[in-house]
Amino acid sequence: MLFLWRAGNARALTVWLLAALLPLLAALTASLWGQARAQRALQGYAPAPVVVDIITGKRRYRASLTALDAACLERNLRLEWEGRLSTPPWFIPIDRHSSVIGTLPPSDVVQALSVTGQLRCAAFVSHAKDE
């Protein structure tokens, strides 16, 4: 820390570099911590396809979903997302009032899948994309 007591341009440059690198170090630390936390959440998770009933309005739809589509459905319901789930041969509408009967992955697992980049949600189409 003696370099901070030196007079002149060297001191200003050192202080500026420390001030510039501190946020970068904090962001890198937070990112690595988030990745480690996500890996811990996924350790006990065994992905498996599920069959669920999705209730939207007065209609009930039965859907057979992959583990990742089930995770996307859990996230979209939690975030009150509105759109459609593409399950050939039809689309299932999803809105903020939709509910699910069946087992979906826990939200901490879904968040971990999202953090690690495994959650793509290609089968879900937002209403905003239709317009």
Q: Which of 81, 129, 77 is nearest to 101 (CA)?
A: 77
The confidence band for 2, taking pLDDT boundaries of 50, 70 and 90, is: low
pTM attached to this predicted model: 0.75
Burial of 71 (0-12, 13-18, 19+ CB in 10 A): buried
Q: pLDDT tens, 22-40?
A: 999 999 999 889 888 888 8
User: What share of the chain has pLDDT > 70, as a percent?
Assistant: 89
Q: How far is CA 48 from the centre of its chain?
A: 19
What pLDDT does 29 receive?
A: 93
Start-to-end C-alpha separation, the chain: 60
Mean pLDDT of 77-90: 92
The confidence band for 131, taking pLDDT boundaries of 50, 70 and 90, is: very low
